[in-house]
Copies of this chain bind each other. A is one copy, B any other.
Amino acid sequence: MAQAELLVVKIGGNVIDSPPLLALFLDSFAQLPGPKVLVHGGGKLATKLAGQLGVAVQMHQGRRLTDGPTLDIAVMVYGGLVNKNLVAGLQARQCQALGLAGADLDLVRAVRRPVRDGVDYGLVGDVRAVNTGALRALLDQGTVPVLAPLSHDGASQLLNTNADTIASEVAVAMSAHFPTSLLFCFEKNGVLASATDDDSVIARLDPASYAGYLADGTVSGGMVPKLDNAFAALRRGVRQVYIFHAQAMPQFGQPGFVGTQITGGHE
């Protein structure tokens, strides 16, 4: 029997913020055959709640700096509101979803990020271990894990961890159990050669072309850590990585699919 392929699919905050896009995505995600994991962000809802509560949001290179009140907001929005509504939406689509944060089943163990280059990220976790045994047991039972971007330190402290990083680390760790594909779904058609042209999708991106796009500014901002994660995932054993619009989920692996494949991280 050929071993099943595992899909680790990450959706960004913009997908969650758009109910019609989210519904379309969930329809197709629920129908994907075989083992699968959903990882989600949820940026704008957290920012909105922080504003309502008078908690200042600080960003550094596309990543959120996390003090105590900001962590509580992340736990409430990512671990609660977004996660449980995604699970309820998947259950309504006959998908046996289970929402998880990093502390659940000791799934994503992290250490608090040390101060680097004068930047204290606060309560942010750098992933140290993924409980692949627990994830595998869930997948073998047909359960679909839905992961919030939260880790923990094993000593009662929850930590904020970038959702792309969670997706990447889970895909890398699970590559020991399954041939694993990592799919980043967001609100653009892929990595664009021209930021203002949605049709300028770069079909394949390798380390050399990435270096060029970085140098000329084609790729910048939040796309940088996403692509760094993608290449690192390929180097660490993930079979394939794609970046595409959440609305293209139904076409993934089919003719007519539009998106960017990240390749050649293995050298």
- Residues on A lying within 8 angstroms of B by beta carbon are 49, 52-53, 72, 75-81, 83-85, 87-89, 91-92, 96-101, 103-106, 137, 141, 143, 150, 152, 154-158
Contacts and interface: CB of A to CB of B under 8 A. Distances in A.
Contacts of A75: 80-81, 84-85
A91 B152 contact: yes
B80 A103 contact: no
B105 A98 contact: yes
Looking at chain A's contact residues, the main secondary structure is helix
Given A53-B52, A53-B53, A92-B155, A103 B81 contact: no
A137 B143 CA distance: 12
B72 A81 contact: yes
Nearest to A95: B106
A84 B150 contact: yes
Contacts of A83: 79-80
Contacts of A100: 98-99
Contacts of A152: 88, 91
Q: Max chain B CB contacts within 10 Å: which of A52, A80, A156, A157? A: A80
Contact of A80 (B81, B97, B105, B155): B81
Given A97-B103, A143-B105, A84 B91 contact: no
A154 B91 contact: yes
A249 to B, nearest CB: 18
5 contacts: A75-B80, A84-B150, A84-B158, A89-B156, A99-B103
